[in-house]
Structure 1
């Protein structure tokens, strides 16, 4: 999965953002599963995907606030 920049995420519509959030949560779940079964993982990837998830969720929240204020 490619890491998206903030400007790229802002161009996505709300459904695409929701899909991105679900995909990132699945990836993080898979990392936790591998970690629990003591399979080899790259710890820096967990941190990278966590930050990406936070970035996407923050932008989603900002867009929702903007929509609520404009109505």
Structure 2
């Protein structure tokens, strides 16, 4: 249970970081038009981190499902 709570905390921290990175990119695009070419970098980095986080969660879920399946198989023997 503690591991699940720490993973939720990590997800919350990452989501907060992605939100602020997106806001920073939007702020820079709106207030500094001469540097507006930089905001796609913030957006792309945020999207890559977001997708990476979800892929890690998916992989972790698949591994956990596989482990539970093996335990259930051993218990039914």
TM-score when normalising by structure 2 = 0.52
Aligned to 2:70: none
Choose between structure 1 and 2: higher helix proportion: 2
Asked if the contact 1:31–1:46 (Cα under 8 Å) also holds between the matched residues in 2, the reply is: yes
Question: Shift of the alpha carbon at 1:61?
Answer: 0.8
The runs of 5 or more residues in structure 2 that have no matched partner are 1-6, 65-77
Change over 3 Å in CA distance of 1:31–1:51 after alignment to 2: closer
> Which residues of structure 1 form unaligned runs of 5+?
1-13
Q: CA deviation at 1:25?
A: 2.2
Pairing 1:1-71 to 2, within 5 Å after superposition: 15=10, 18-33=12-27, 35=30, 39-41=31-33, 42-71=35-64
Counting matched residue pairs gives 54
TM-score scaled by structure 1? 0.55
* 1:21 CA drift (Å): 4.2
RMSD in angstroms over aligned alpha carbons?
A: 2.4
